[in-house]
Amino acid sequence: MALYTLQAIRDKIRKITARPSPNQITDSEIDEYINTFLVYDLPEHLRLFILRTTYTIDLVPGQPFYDFTGKNEYLTVEPPAYVAGYDTQYFQDLQTFRNLFPQPRYVVQLTTGTGVAGPYAGTFTYIPVKPTTVFITAIDNAGVSLVCKDDGLGNLVGNILPGATINYRTGAVTGIIWSGVIANGTIIYIEAATYQSARPLAVLFFENKFEFWPVPDKGYLFEIVAYKNPLSLINSVDEPVLREWWEFIAWGASLKIFSDNLDMDSYAKADVLFDRHKVLIERRTLKQLSTQRARTIYSDYDSYPYSNQYPYI
């Protein structure tokens, strides 16, 4: 058996923990410790260069918001970010993003009450309408404030019956049936933001969503640097991403076994050797990163192919 496979890691763990028999701990239990450490702990201990990749989104016209669907597959995202190959400003602070790219909302009369709960319809004249900014309000004949909002997909939800919609392109609102009766002449207001579409120049990552500004006017490919989680080891011949990780994984999983059994003396001894292997594992990444100066706000990309250094700007 090769020294770097799942089976080799199991055997190493049995030696470290002094549990040679499956009666003491089964292979499936060891595998659970191995994969818990490999997938969740190892990338938090070390942000290794080999785990860097790109996370991509296919942008579509008129859609500014996109869920971070890879939140369980990727650890973090970070700049640089690109839209259609163009460098794109990256933000994680909502206040900074909103201050630089204000998106005021307009409040207008949608329609008036007719003494019934609905259905009501109308048109928001500031078009196109930015998704997730729609806010419609009314007061029923009991004095209760009623509200409905859009869900980003054109559906209206809130103090209304299902089925109401808004067309973001035309601003047409249809099918609003409130949970209460709207008296004759009572104004029903709509609030929303509009936009001018273009190739996005900035992106905000907030609440596990990406928001692009301007809103895309057509399809674009968005790319951003991301750190991915390593894949689990399932079969006895499976190997970690880098074979050199195998002992580090064994020591990390062993620490979890000692911890669960409150064997803190063994934990303390194993932790010293764990840290030693951690230093060795990190060396490849440190050597890789040492070939280039870290990018800062005072530097720009190198002028390839004339230089392999980042010149000052």
| pLDDT tens track, the chain, 313 positions | 567 899 999 999 999 999 999 999 999 999 999 999 999 888 888 888 888 899 999 999 989 999 999 888 898 899 999 999 999 999 999 999 999 998 889 999 999 999 999 899 999 999 999 999 999 999 999 999 999 999 989 999 999 999 999 999 999 999 999 999 999 999 999 999 999 899 999 999 999 999 999 999 999 999 999 999 888 999 999 999 888 889 999 999 999 999 999 999 999 999 998 988 888 887 777 777 677 666 665 555 444 343 333 333 3
- Residue 47's pLDDT is 83
Whether cis (ω within 30° of 0) applies to the bond prior to 79 is no
Tell me the three state secondary structure of residue 98: helix
What is the distance of C-alpha 150 from the center of its chain?
22
Of the candidates 231, 248, 256, 229, the residue with the CA atom closest to the CA atom of residue 9: 248
> Are the C-beta atoms of 112 and 201 separated by less than 8 Å?
no
β pairing state of 202-206 and 105-112: unpaired
- Name the residue ranges covered by the structural domains of the chain: 6-46+232-289, 49-96+199-227, 105-193
Confidence at residue 301, expressed as pLDDT on a 0 to 100 scale: 46
Rounded to whole angstroms, the Cα distance separating 168 from 194 reads 9
Question: What pLDDT does 281 receive?
Answer: 81
The secondary structure of residue 140, as a DSSP letter, is: -
**pTM: predicted TM-score of the whole model, two decimal places:** 0.76
For domain 105-193, give the CATH number: 2.60.40
